[in-house]
Structure 1
Amino acid sequence: MSWQIDLAHSHINFSVRHMMISTVRGTFDSFSGTVEFDPET
């Protein structure tokens, strides 16, 4: 089974802590992809 990512309803965000002092946050504005699922595994 394979699904296309719905770009209108999806987003990718991240955060990274540096030396327990500061946190950097960001987002990806442009991305694409598919999700594949194998029910046998």
Structure 2
Amino acid sequence: MDVNGRVWLIEANPKPGRTLFIKTGERKVYRTSVRRPLQYAMF
């Protein structure tokens, strides 16, 4: 967000994806990795 209140998207990079956590059996880490950016955005 800039000083004028406009939101700017710097980068959206889906790779490497979070599916790695599922493949390694770390479902809790996967859920957290999805949840945290959303929680930060709502903050």
TM-score (norm 2): 0.24
Q: Which has the higher helix share?
A: 2
Q: Which has the higher strand share?
A: 1
TM-score (norm 1): 0.24
Could you say which structure has the greater relative contact order, defined with CA pairs below 8 angstroms and 6 or more residues apart?
1
